[in-house]
Amino acid sequence: MKKVLVVACLLVGVSFGYSQGVVSFKNNDPYVTVTTGSNGKTDRLVYNTDGATLLAGTNYLVQLYFVSGTSTSITEANLNPVDITAKAFRAVGQSDGIWVGGNKTLTGVTAGNSATLQVRAWDGATGATSYAAALTAGLTTGKSSLFTYTVPVPPTSPGQFYMEGFQSFTMIIPEPTTIALGVLGAAGLLIARRRK
């Protein structure tokens, strides 16, 4: 009888814990529906700026952003990080294009409800600790398309909280800002005047 009570308590605990908006923050979960990403790839991997080489190296970081609910009016500006923890991509040669994931809790999203998610990645080699900091610094960044995730209703095994809807994406090198172009133009004019 005690064993039955212990097992029942564990099942209730697992069901309750996983009804709090849990999502498996990995892009290598099996048995997910794979659709063509904005980069034309039919996988769930992240590619470097050339669009052909899979992203690898622990200097590259990735973070999950979300907002509760789904709507055609939701934009990237509506999303916030799930938490402050960024995950690192795997070392070169160890399943390139994949980060070291784990479960994330979507606060305020309960079982049966949906959220809008986005994955954002950046090069943290220069010390950028967030996507926004990397973007401001003009570092290599990338992001997935927005996608919908519906939290499964228990009883569900912990392994079934896949990030359905996530698609492959490619990192980009941001274009120079107007100020940077202005500085380069002014430097070019000074050099031209000195040569005359």
Domain membership of residue 132 (yes or no) is yes
Position 9 scores a pLDDT of 42
Position 19 scores a pLDDT of 52
Please count the structural domains in the chain.
Answer: 1
Domain membership of residue 187 (yes or no) is no
Domain membership of residue 114 (yes or no) is yes
Domain membership of residue 196 (yes or no) is no
Domain membership of residue 87 (yes or no) is yes
Q: Which domain holds residue 135?
A: 2-177
Position 104 scores a pLDDT of 94
Position 176 scores a pLDDT of 67
Model-level pTM?
Answer: 0.79
Position 26 scores a pLDDT of 92
Domain membership of residue 184 (yes or no) is no
Domain membership of residue 194 (yes or no) is no
Position 109 scores a pLDDT of 94
Question: pLDDT (tens digit, 0 to 9) for every residue of the chain, 196 residues total?
Answer: 555 444 444 344 444 444 568 999 999 988 788 889 989 999 999 999 999 999 999 999 999 999 999 988 999 999 999 999 999 999 999 999 999 888 999 999 999 999 999 999 999 988 899 999 999 999 999 999 999 999 998 776 656 789 989 999 999 998 765 445 555 666 676 676 666 6
Domain membership of residue 182 (yes or no) is no
List, as one string, the DSSP characters of the chain. -HHHHHHHHHHHHHHHHTTTTEEEE-S--SSPPP---TTS-SSS-EE-TTSSSBP--TTEEEEEEEEES--TT--GGG-EESSSPPEEBPPTTSSTT-B--EEEE-TT--TT-EEEEEEEEEE-TTS--SHHHHHHTT--EEEPPPEEEEPPPSS--GGG---TT---EE-BPPPPPHHHHHHHHHHHHHHHHHH-
